[in-house]
């Protein structure tokens, strides 16, 4: 029997009906999250109460950070009112601006320092605020110091001392000045610098554990990745992943004197700063102020994939070997006694995930408490490519381990 003839209009209506049926058959993302949370709860009912509680809190935190509604059944685990106060933290290099998140009902709760990645908004970056507030709503005091160098897209050894001094100061903000070691969580390049702070004997007594998220092991390896797209692994395999232009631009911005005549550095710095800060009007104005030679130099630097720019990047690496070693955990982890938790996005094209594998390989087994390369994450965002339910569960479990460690006095 032949199919009944349909007019174009009827065909479109039929297509829309089929599409609606197909969409209805798909589980809603919120239902998937709830299903994972329920599955997690069932798996953990045999475990101790506090550990189960930490897993439920982890589900709530990840939903809050991801902008998803927290399932009603577990909303109470991350619902404590939180006060936010902008303060200054004394350090060896002067006061640091910081924000303190305090659970109102537990003003002397266990403490966690969270350090922002390379971003011009620093501690005011919306994802940072959302994450710190979510962690505090679980009953933790959270301090987010602002690292001036990292805020200005410069990864320097000064930030290591700023991190260590912040942890040291926060550790004695307790009744009677009693020292209670604090957790330290560093995002992006701040994670590698946090490990270096923990390896410094001056700060060891103040740091209870370190969490490094999407962080560097060797700045030399990371810089080479920006040029080549090659991501070598400890076992000898190499992954090829197109690097984001952001990485090379940060290298250029931090070492412009290696790329340009000295007289052109100020004008080109203004261009790159505006570009990295995503300030289009300022970038347009800075470009308009360049002379023809400077305009050609700006065009060259902004084209991070050109052979000429890659030659310049390689030469800059050779001139800054010692500097790169100073901001690399490589060679400083073998005797680290501080507990460490490592998390990385599987598709991270700013700091490749092999960096976490290298850190895990060097750390003592007694110090490495958890390691996860997750497809749920990209660099620092929960927007990885098509993660499955078990991938989400592994990320929940990682954060539960972190919360459990933070909450233990």
pLDDT of residue 49: 59
Per-residue pLDDT at 14 exceeds 80: no
Token pair for 169: 């100061």
Separation of alpha carbons 329 and 218, rounded Å: 7
- Averaged confidence pLDDT in the chain: 88
Separation of alpha carbons 45 and 370, rounded Å: 21
Separation of alpha carbons 226 and 352, rounded Å: 10
pLDDT of residue 72: 87
Confidence band of 38 (pLDDT split at 50, 70, 90): very low
Predicted TM-score of the model (pTM):
0.86
Confidence band of 378 (pLDDT split at 50, 70, 90): confident
pLDDT of residue 189: 97
Instruction: For each of the domains in the chain, give its residue range(s) and CATH number, in order of start.
Output: 76-221+332-407 (3.40.50.1820), 256-319 (no CATH)
pLDDT of residue 107: 92
Mean pLDDT of 22-32: 40
Mean pLDDT of 168-187: 94
pLDDT of residue 22: 41
pLDDT of residue 385: 67
Instruction: Note whether 52 and 74 are within 8 A (CB).
Output: no
**pLDDT tens-digit readout, 311-325:** 999 999 999 999 999
Higher pLDDT pick, 29 / 64? 64
* Closest by CA position to 124, among listed 137, 135, 133: 133
* Closest by CA position to 52, among listed 406, 396, 391, 409: 396
**pLDDT tens-digit readout, 252-309:** 999 999 999 999 999 999 999 999 999 999 999 999 999 999 999 999 999 999 999 9
pLDDT of residue 387: 73
Higher pLDDT pick, 385 / 4? 385
Confidence band of 386 (pLDDT split at 50, 70, 90): low
């Amino acid at each position: 029997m032949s199919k009944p003839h349909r007019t174009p209009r009827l065909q479109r209506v039929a297509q829309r009906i089929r599409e609606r049926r197909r969409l209805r058959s798909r589980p809603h993302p919120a239902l998937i999250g709830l299903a994972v949370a329920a599955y997690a709860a069932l798996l953990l009912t045999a475990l101790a109460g506090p550990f189960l509680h930490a897993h439920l809190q982890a589900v709530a935190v990840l939903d809050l950070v991801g902008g998803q509604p927290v399932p009603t059944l577990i909303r109470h685990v991350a619902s404590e009112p939180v006060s936010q106060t902008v303060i200054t933290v004394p350090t060896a290099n002067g006061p640091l601006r910081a924000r303190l998140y305090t659970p109102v009902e537990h003003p002397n709760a266990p403490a966690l320092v969270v350090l922002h990645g390379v971003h011009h908004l620093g501690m005011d970056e919306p994802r940072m605020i959302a994450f710190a507030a979510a962690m505090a709503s679980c009953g933790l005091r959270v301090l987010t110091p602002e690292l001036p160098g990292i805020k200005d897209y410069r990864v320097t050894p000064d930030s290591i001392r700023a991190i260590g001094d912040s942890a040291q100061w926060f550790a004695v903000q307790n009744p009677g000045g009693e020292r209670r070691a604090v957790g330290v969580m560093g995002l992006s390049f701040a994670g590698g610098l946090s490990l270096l702070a923990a390896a410094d004997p001056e700060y060891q007594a103040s740091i209870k554990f370190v969490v490094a998220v999407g962080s560097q092991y060797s700045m030399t390896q990371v810089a080479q990745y920006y040029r080549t797209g090659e991501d070598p692994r400890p076992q000898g395999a190499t992954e090829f992943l197109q690097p984001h232009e952001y990485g090379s631009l940060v290298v250029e911005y931090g070492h412009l004197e290696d790329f340009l005549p000295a007289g052109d550095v100020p004008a080109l710095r203004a261009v790159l700063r505006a570009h990295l800060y995503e300030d289009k009007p300022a970038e347009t104005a800075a470009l308009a102020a360049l002379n023809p030679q400077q305009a050609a130099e700006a065009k060259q630097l902004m084209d991070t994939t050109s052979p000429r720019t890659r030659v310049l990047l390689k030469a800059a690496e050779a001139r800054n070997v010692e500097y790169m070693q100073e901001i690399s955990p490589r060679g400083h982890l073998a005797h680290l006694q501080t507990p460490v938790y490592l998390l990385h996005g599987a598709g991270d094209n700013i700091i490749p995930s092999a960096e976490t594998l290298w850190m895990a390989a060097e750390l003592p087994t007694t110090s490495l408490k958890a390691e996860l390369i997750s497809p749920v994450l990209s660099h620092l965002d929960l927007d990885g490519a098509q993660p499955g339910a078990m991938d989400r569960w592994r990320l929940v479990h990682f954060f539960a381990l972190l919360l459990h460690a933070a909450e233990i006095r």
